[in-house]
């Protein structure tokens, strides 16, 4: 089969790994992680990329995205079917699906998750990010203490910096999801250093590329990937399926 893969940058190394081992021809298009920070714009941008690939004669368009804060909900398949993992986010994909992620999260509700892609492709000098970076930057929430003091004065700058970083007090650990990619060792070291700086416990969980392998290998009948037939639309569900097509 001839396939088109439109993926988030966070999956770059993992997708390169599985595509190199697939018997199918997969054209890869990588989109910046920053797209998640643009709210509703994510949906419209992805739909535009899907529409552009729809007339290129592909057998299917693979999405290296999950539900992603409902950013993929409402995406519509034209004449080419869409295929994507059934998970809430990239961490769920790398853990093997929502049930596995949910089981871990119930036992570890106050941890940040990192993966090789999250570590490698985050902006240099930017610490752990909770999402919507674009909006936070507009109001100074991603500014350093020095930047805030320069803009608002010593007392106000220090107060704002403390408030903007108060969310960190609610976390006590960082969990790194490893994967068999070349950047894994360096990313693990950086994640460990980040956890140490925050004073958090570090834990490593062995990830799996099973869901991504199924995407590129055409194994779409399993329950952990969603095949969206031509003319159908992606919808979120409230059960372990996470995503469905109507």
Q: How far apart are CA 45 and CA 126, in angstroms?
A: 25
Asked if 73 and 236 count as a contact pair (C-beta separation under 8 A), the reply is yes
pLDDT digit string, tens, across residues 25-51: 999 999 988 787 666 788 899 999 999
What counts of helices (H) and strands (E) characterise the chain? 10, 10
Q: Taking residues 144-166, what's their average pLDDT?
A: 74
Q: How far apart are CA 90 and CA 179, in angstroms?
A: 13
**Domain boundaries of the chain, sorted by first residue:** 2-89+208-245, 94-206
Provide the percentage of residues in the chain whose pLDDT is more than 90.
53
In the numeric block, which tokens belong to residue 174?
């960082």
Better pLDDT: 205 or 133: 205
Mean pLDDT of the chain: 85
pLDDT digit string, tens, across residues 203-213: 999 999 999 99
Residue 81 has pLDDT above 70, yes or no: yes
Residue 80 has pLDDT above 50, yes or no: yes
Q: How far apart are CA 76 and CA 70, in angstroms?
A: 14
Cα separations in angstroms, 195 against 81, 90, 173, 205: 41, 20, 7, 15
Residue 3 is inside which H or E element, if any? strand 2-8
- pLDDT for 177: 94
Provide the percentage of residues in the chain whose pLDDT is more than 70.
85
Better pLDDT: 143 or 244: 244
Residue 137 has pLDDT above 80, yes or no: no
Asked if 31 and 78 count as a contact pair (C-beta separation under 8 A), the reply is no
Better pLDDT: 10 or 109: 10
Asked if 12 and 117 count as a contact pair (C-beta separation under 8 A), the reply is yes
Positive or negative CA dihedral for 12, 15, 19, 25?
negative
Residue 124 has pLDDT above 50, yes or no: no
Residue 79 has pLDDT above 90, yes or no: yes
pLDDT digit string, tens, across residues 178-197: 988 878 889 999 999 989 98
Q: Taking residues 205-230, what's their average pLDDT?
A: 94
- pLDDT for 122: 75
**By three-state DSSP, how is residue 94 classified?**
helix
Cα separations in angstroms, 150 against 146, 155, 160: 6, 11, 12
Q: How far apart are CA 146 and CA 59, in angstroms?
A: 53
- Range from 54-58, 82-86, 126-130 carrying the lowest mean pLDDT: 126-130
Asked if 220 and 214 count as a contact pair (C-beta separation under 8 A), the reply is yes
List, as one string, the DSSP characters of 36-60: GGGTTHHHHHHHHHHHHHHTTT-SE
Residue 133 has pLDDT above 60, yes or no: no
Cα separations in angstroms, 210 against 1, 29, 97, 214: 19, 20, 9, 6
- Range from 84-98, 165-179, 232-246 carrying the lowest mean pLDDT: 165-179
List, as one string, the DSSP characters of 144-195: -HHHHHHHH-HHHHHHHHHHHTGGGGG--EEEEEE-SSTTHHHHHHHHHHHH
Residue 135 has pLDDT above 90, yes or no: no
- pLDDT for 165: 63
């Amino acid at each position: 089969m001839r396939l088109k893969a439109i993926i988030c940058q966070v999956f770059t190394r993992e997708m390169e790994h599985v595509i190199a081992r697939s018997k199918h021809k997969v054209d890869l298009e990588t989109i910046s992680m920053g797209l998640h920070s643009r709210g509703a714009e994510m949906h419209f941008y992805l739909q535009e990329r899907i529409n552009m690939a729809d007339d290129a004669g592909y057998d299917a368009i693979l999405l290296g995205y999950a539900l992603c804060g409902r950013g993929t909900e409402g995406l519509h398949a034209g004449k080419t079917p869409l295929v994507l993992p059934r998970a809430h986010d990239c961490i769920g994909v790398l853990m093997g699906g929502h049930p596995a992620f949910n089981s871990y999260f119930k036992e570890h509700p106050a941890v940040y998750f990192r993966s090789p892609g999250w570590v490698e492709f985050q902006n240099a000098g930017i610490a752990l990010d909770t999402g919507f970076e674009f909006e936070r930057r507009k109001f100074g929430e991603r500014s350093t203490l020095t930047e805030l003091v320069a803009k608002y004065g010593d007392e106000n700058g220090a107060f704002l910096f403390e408030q903007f970083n108060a969310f960190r007090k609610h976390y006590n650990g960082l969990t790194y999801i490893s994967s068999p990619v070349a950047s894994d060792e360096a990313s693990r070291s950086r994640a460990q250093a980040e956890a140490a700086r925050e004073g958090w416990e570090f834990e490593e969980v062995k990830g799996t590329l099973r869901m991504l392998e199924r995407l590129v290998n055409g194994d779409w009948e399993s329950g952990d990937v969603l095949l969206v037939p031509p003319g159908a639309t992606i919808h979120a569900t409230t059960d372990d399926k996470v995503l469905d097509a109507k």
